[in-house]
Structure 1
């Protein structure tokens, strides 16, 4: 217990110290979180009528973000496989950062689902066995189950590995290896089940495609790793933690393969709909060209296509993707492009036209945007704090003190044990801690 308290208090010291840029970033995220909380309180008081969702379009901006972020969480498997299946050292050294990203992403997913609930006090119905969600027949129940399972797995893996390294000992392979290997099918399952939620709806012809699950996974292995590359470049630039070029270039190469598969599967689906020109074409036509003057999504989807194709050609050429300036541009383009294509570009056309053959143009309201920004800020805030603790541990700068009575941070000792000044005096808690401005 003493060591756990030392770890906790040392972590608090680390997250409370930083440069001016760090404080600006953290307080900006806290401001966005506060804005999101106030917007959500307004939504709770007035109901979902403050959103743009209606009977015609019952899933909107919240579920669009949820669908995209599930892919970001699943993308951690792209680091786990080369790191722990093939034992490739350059990626093994940074794989834990992917686990931490997965934890933050899953928490964001659960928050977006909560925001989408009109009656969040009835969330217990989503809990398998306890709730009334018809588990295991319901795909929604399976989605809740696999998301929480994946969250628990990553929390245990990341927490155990960091705490072991804090003690300067190697994690027990007999304990951690089965969890890491199990996290691979778990990561695939969270996005597969999410895809099945869509493709299993026979009445929604835009989603009713057998290749939707492979498309989800391919796009996930583009956007998630692209975000991780941006994080790795920032970490390498502003901290002492060294991330090898070989690891970044290998991830970029895997993104190129995944991007090709994603574009190929999307192209196959577009060809099938436009070539057959059946009644199923209407949602696809609405998305890409609009119908009867309804063109709300047209500029967005073509922007996404332009971004995705440009990024694909950047990643396709090894000499180009190894240029870090071009690599950053490609990662940003992929992240935005997949976000549009897999979010609003997937969810909204599924409701067009409605059962009365009417077209309702959905556009998120300011409340939806503010709540969504607040949830994104929450995820980034949690990820920032986790990096703030994890990187010094990985560097060896934050570890248990030589006498086992506290946490050693840099060249300073953080004591948590009481020390008596004289035999007759009461023990006093002694605290002496200092952390560098860089993580």
Structure 2
């Protein structure tokens, strides 16, 4: 029998052991795993140099100008809540609708949400120009400017969602690690609160855009709903890719029914998104007022200037093709090639839509009637790639450790010995 002092000492050592074992397992893998991390590390290393150049020189090294003040950082940030809020689509079927095939996978959705909130916050730090001055927005230290500023709402919803998912992920994994039952009075309300909170990170982000009344193309009540439709498209697309990779290269079992469920969600998301675009295009273009100028600039250009026209028609065409292809059950059941390829295209097309259609054309014409073109610099591009690379390195290792815990490969050795080696 262990004394009380020994029990307390053992309990205090378990979180340290969990962290150590989790991290050690996360960095172990085969050639393909290390090749993936090496590929991402290349952009991370180059990004360190370009990050230093931006932080020491300023935002003048980006393509931002007096006409277009939002860089690639903002457009990439707007994409991140699309993925982070998709965790709701994993957790809801598991805990609210009691789907047994998704019960164990909910923690993976929460881990994805946690990482993508961090990625989004990193993009905002690059957009700030002087992230060392972010303390000015800390309540009690700086001027938080709540509730008059919409940005403060975004700070709240993002950080609360980050904490909710981080606590949920590591509490769940730790309990599995030590083979102890979870405190449902703590964990279940936490999950339900995270599910209810998830949509807000996209809704509030949409409010940041739609509150700019001077930019007519953003000043629409459809903005939050179109953002949620994009979340229902791009989020499940990435989830499917991750689930397919996990079940191919690990021992974690993921049923076809789970993949089929998210394929159906993408269909509804893309269908709703296409409808949103059609409604918005009609509302803006049919009256033919000056408010439609930014959209017309994206669709057909202006007096020979057509920098965004190819992007517009390519993205819209791809959206429709993706929707039509996913209507076929044969395509949805092609787990080894067609489905992951379409899911990758969904993720990338929603990402590309942000700068090329949503953000950059919206700033033209300026109050002086000028039409501007955004030219991202190589420093800016590599800084964007740096954020994505470091984010996916984090996501890869977090998911690797998570799968290790779920499959029992990462376990508390003392618990195993006490149970005679049986899980």
Same fold (TM over 0.5): yes
Q: Any conservation in 2 of the 1:3–1:405 contact (CA below 8 Å)?
A: no
Correspondence list, 1:94-243, <5 A: 94-243=105-254
* 1:74-110 residue CA offsets vs partner (Å, 9 max, x unmatched): 1111111111111111122211111111111011111
TM-score (normalizing by structure 1): 0.90
**What is the match of residue 427 of structure 1?**
none
- 2:290 match: secondary structure: coil
Deviation, 1:224, is 1.0
Q: CA deviation at 1:402?
A: 3.8
Q: 1-side partners of 2:142 and 2:318: how far apart?
A: 42
Alpha-carbon distance between aligned partners in 1 of 2:52 and 2:351, rounded to the nearest angstrom: 27
In the alignment, is the contact (CA less than 8 A) between 2:61 and 2:379 conserved in 1?
yes
Q: Hey, what's the Cα distance between the residues in 2 that align with 1:119 and 1:241?
A: 43
For the 8 Å contact 1:314–1:327, the answer to whether it is kept is no
Instruction: Give the number of the structure whose residues are more often helix, by fraction.
Output: 2
The match for 1:29 is: 40
Distance 1:320 1:18 in 2: 31
- C-alpha distance in 1 between matches for 2:421 and 2:331: 40
How far the C-alpha of 1:118 sits from its partner, in A, is 2.1
Supply the RMSD in Å over aligned alpha carbons. 1.9
Range with greater deviation from structure 2 (336-345 or 230-239): 336-345
Give the equivalent residue in structure 2 for 1:419.
Answer: none
Unaligned runs of 5+ in 2: 1-11
State which of 292, 313, 332 in structure 2 corresponds to 1:302.
313
Residue of 360, 369, 392 corresponding to 2:381:
369
The TM-score, its normalising length taken from structure 2, stands at 0.93
1:316 and 2:327 are equivalent in the alignment: yes
CA distance in 1, matches of 2:77, 2:261: 28
- Written as runs of structure 1 = structure 2, the 5 A alignment for 1:264-283 is 264-283=275-294
Shift of 1:409: 11
* Aligned-partner Cα distance in 1 for 2:139–2:288: 42
**Cα distance in 2 for residues equivalent to 1:254 and 1:263:** 14
Q: Deviations over 1:335-377 (max 9, x none)?
A: 1221122343211122111111101100211011100000001
Tell me if structure 2 keeps the 8 A contact 1:111–1:375: yes
